Amino acid sequence: MALPHFIIAGAPKCGTTALWAFLSQHPDICMTSNKEPSFFSDDPGELEKPMSMMGSGDLHPGNYYRGLSWYESLFKHCQKTQVRGEATPRYFMGQNSASLIKSIVPQVKLIFLLRHPLEVMFSAYWQEHKPGLKLPDFVKMVTTNHPRFQFYCRIISYQSNLEKYYKHFSDKQILVLLHADLKQKPLETLQQIFEFIGVDKTFVPNNLEAQFNQRAIPRFRTLQRMLYSPMVVKLSKRMPVSLLPYLRPIRNAIRQLNLKERKNSSSIPSSIRQQLIQSFEKDIVYVEKLLGRDLNAWRT
């Protein structure tokens, strides 16, 4: 069976795209061509609902319904000698992701990246503008406990999300890293990952300083919503798997062309920042104990 040896399982907005790109360069590693298969998730997608009815779940539906043969097909380009991997950030807070992974690939190794909780929240907020969502001001979302703000809170619930995995997997199967380390000392962090998954740790990827998932907003919101619309999602579900490698790049290219750089994002008032940072304390303490590191930078 062609299944992954390791999974980058989150957290969202913590550098998983960069990590996927770096690992994809390693000759001993084979990553899925589709960066986020979302197979180990059966959660429904909020994007298929009207904006007024959106809840606190992931925007896109999971792909568990596609079946194991579909998932295995994503690794068919891999050589037998390569270590197979995939990256799906939504697994981090998926309701059943940990148990689904355990049931199918119990020996898999799991990699998690964590980041300053407030940076994750604000980054996730702007990321949700990319599909064309018209969201309220971030501060208003906080003060009204907007459903999408509740989703951001689910992402940075580090303790509850990680404990789901420690319940199903041994400590030796889990590697928790910091986004700041991948950004500030990428080669050292990658060598740690290479050793963890059992590949040549002397390999040096190109473009270690490259920027991924840069800030952007749609040029034409209506067009972007159409490209992410339920109709397009449902149509893609009915298409043969053999066609997706050709059609998906076209759709993604149009999405990218319809984006423009987002400049000067609104700042968060200090009172709201302090309110949020205080609410993170339990999770900050948990990660400090887990990693044996001082994370006072997350308290500022």
Residue numbers of the domain that contains 177: 6-121+156-212
Yes or no: say if 115 and 14 are a contact pair by the CB < 8 Å rule. Answer: yes
Question: In angstroms, rounded to a whole number, what is the distance separating the alpha carbons of residues 174 and 230?
Answer: 35
Q: Is residue 77 part of a domain?
A: yes
Q: Give the residue ranges of the chain where pLDDT is below 70.
A: 211-248, 251-252, 254-266
Yes or no: say if 218 and 258 are a contact pair by the CB < 8 Å rule. Answer: yes
What's the confidence (pLDDT) of residue 289? 98
Cα Rg of the chain, angstroms:
19
281-291 helix and 158-168 helix, angle to the nearest 10 degrees: 40
**Given CA atoms 105, 109, 114, 120 in this order, what sign does their dihedral have?**
negative
Check which CATH number belongs to the domain holding 51 and give it. Answer: 3.40.50.300
Q: Is residue 133 part of a domain?
A: no
What residues contact residue 39 under an 8 Å CB cut-off, 6+ apart?
62, 63, 64, 66, 70, 71, 86, 88
What's the confidence (pLDDT) of residue 268? 86
H helix or E strand, kind and range, residue 265: none
Yes or no: say if 14 and 213 are a contact pair by the CB < 8 Å rule. Answer: no
Question: In angstroms, rounded to a whole number, what is the distance separating the alpha carbons of residues 93 and 174?
Answer: 16
Question: In angstroms, rounded to a whole number, what is the distance separating the alpha carbons of residues 259 and 136?
Answer: 20
97-146 tens-digit pLDDT = 999 999 999 999 999 999 999 999 999 998 888 877 889 999 999 999 99
Q: What is the pTM of this model?
A: 0.84
Count the Cβ atoms, other than its own, within 10 Å of residue 170.
Answer: 8
Q: Is residue 61 part of a domain?
A: yes
Q: Is residue 174 part of a domain?
A: yes
Question: In angstroms, rounded to a whole number, what is the distance separating the alpha carbons of residues 270 and 77?
Answer: 50
Q: Is residue 1 part of a domain?
A: no
Place of tokens 């298969």: 37
Q: Is residue 100 part of a domain?
A: yes
CA angle 236, 215, 190 (to 5 degrees): 85
Characterise 70 by phi-psi region: left (phi > 0), alpha (psi -120 to 50), beta (else): alpha
What's the confidence (pLDDT) of residue 265? 58
Residue 276 C-alpha from the chain's centroid: 22
What's the confidence (pLDDT) of residue 65? 93
Question: In angstroms, rounded to a whole number, what is the distance separating the alpha carbons of residues 87 and 74?
Answer: 12
The domain total for the chain is 1
* Residue 117 one-letter amino acid: P
Q: Is residue 131 part of a domain?
A: no
Q: Is residue 243 part of a domain?
A: no
What's the confidence (pLDDT) of residue 51? 80
